Amino acid sequence: MRSRTQVGIIGAGPAGLLLAQLLHVRGISSIVLECRDRAYVEGRVRAGVLEQGTIDLLHEAGVADRLDREGLAHEGISIALHGRRQPIDFRTLTGGKSITVYGQTEVTKDLIAARLSAGGDLRFEATDVELHDIDGARPRLTCRHQGQTREIECDFIAGCDGFHGVSRAALKPERVSVFERSYPFAWLGILADAPPPDRNLIYCRHARGFALFSMRSPTRARHYLQCRPDEDLAQWSEDRIWSELRTRLGSDALQSGPLLEKSVTPMRSFVAEPLRHGRLLLAGDSGHIVPPTGAKGLNLAASDVHYLVEALDRFYRKDDESGLAAYSETALKRVWKAQRFSWWMTSMLHIFGDPFEDRIHQAELEYVLASKAALTTLAENYVGLPF
């Protein structure tokens, strides 16, 4: 079976779904292909810190009603070092800016509901997706869906299917320049029915390793512990996890609760340049990965989508390809600034195991916490650089 659309989108994560919804608002048609089923997509536990620019895009897409009701506004974070916790006031340091905690899972649910409510074409369990003729004027997608082979003719293909997706993998290696760093540690993350220890996020540098104390709601905690990349989750009982979290927080006041989810997340910095290859446009994790310390992954996907929507809108309204020609360069400038910030935060807050390097990172953090200029730099980057 054959169908036709203006933009074929691979991947129903936040990048693909937000792109589809914003294109719909602009009157541009799209078809979204997702290899997983709806329950899996809506159940993935991921990031939860939204910059104001991302929130503005969700409002533009018409999917921010629940975010406005349930999102937790945060005017700052705290950083703990040597057993002392120092609050960092974003509003004072950035002229009134802040961030909002609202889980990526909830963003995804809102976008899926809006897509289906508007009658948009969203195809779950679309397997064997292949890209064709991306260097021509009429690229195509083929897949298996509902037991049939489907072909979709497009003007453009948006690869929003993540680091392990088919979009970037379809390119010949010589077309892609890869910049990558793997870190010698990972995060053991939990989601628990337990109150968070503070109304703001707490970042801890501790001799036993980094810890982050976060939340998804006033009664649901999302916490992380630095661990080995090959950590065996079976060795981490609930009691051991809560004991280690209390040790690194430096407080017995942390309240425990039943674990809803437990996982290990590797730490990686990755950029694949360029983000445009003929009529294939990469966005989000398809083109770049940041370590989660700086809370930039979801927000970078949203900024890619912003640049991409503006470029496609200009193409369809004015027959002007200048935005598409500049898309990769424009998006990558913001990507690399976020990479720098995420690497910086990761370096300062984690234990690498090299005595000299760890002392340098500790000294850096001590300097930052004592300098208004350095704290301003941290705050400006954390709340999000302008588009």
- Could you give phi then psi for residue 108, rounded to 5 degrees? -60, -45
Strands 156-159 and 280-282: parallel
Give the DSSP H or E segment for 276. strand 276-277
Determine contact, residues 113/123, Cβ cutoff 8 Å.
Answer: no
Cα diameter, the chain: 64
Peptide bond into 274 cis (omega under 30): yes
Alpha carbon distance 331, 234 (integer Å): 40
Cβ atoms within 10 Å of 69's Cβ, excluding its own? 7
Residue with tokens 């003929």: 278
Task: Tell me the two tokens of residue 74.
Answer: 């945060």
The amino acid occupying position 69 is: R
- Strands 220-227 and 177-192 turn out to be antiparallel
Q: Could you give the residue numbers annotated as active site?
A: 74, 203, 292, 296, 382
Report the alpha-carbon distance of residue 204 to residue 84 in Å, rounded: 9
Cβ atoms of 118 and 24 closer than 8 Å: yes
SS3 assignment, position 257 = coil
pLDDT at 347: 97
pLDDT value at position 253? Answer: 81
Low-confidence ranges of the chain (pLDDT < 50): none
- Provide the 10 A C-beta neighbour count for residue 317: 11
User: Which 3 state secondary structure label does DSSP give 223?
Assistant: strand
Question: Hey, which bits of 111-241 come out as E strands?
Answer: 121-123, 127-132, 140-145, 148-153, 156-159, 177-192, 201-205, 211-217, 220-227
Query: What's the one-letter identity of residue 305?
Result: V
The helix or strand, by DSSP H or E, that contains position 69, with its residue range, turns out to be: helix 65-70
Per the CB < 8 A criterion, the answer to whether 51 and 12 are in contact is no
Neighbours of 44 (CB within 10 A): 11
Beta bridge partners of 33: 10, 123
For 146, other C-beta atoms within 10 Å of its C-beta total 10
Q: What is the Cα–Cα distance from 143 to 128, expressed in whole angstroms?
A: 5
- Residue 42's closest CA among 138, 155, 124, 137? 124
pLDDT reported for residue 125: 98
pLDDT tens, 72-120? Answer: 999 999 999 998 999 999 999 999 999 999 999 999 999 999 999 999 9
Confidence (pLDDT) at 334: 98
CB 37 within 8 A of CB 368: no
The per-residue pLDDT for 106 is: 96
282 backbone dihedrals φ, ψ, rounded to 5°? -90, 145
Could you tell me the domains of the chain?
Answer: 2-74+99-179+268-349 (3.50.50.60), 183-267+353-383 (3.30.9.10)
pTM of the entire structure? Answer: 0.95
Instruction: Measure the CA–CA gap between 123 and 38, rounded to whole angstroms.
Output: 9
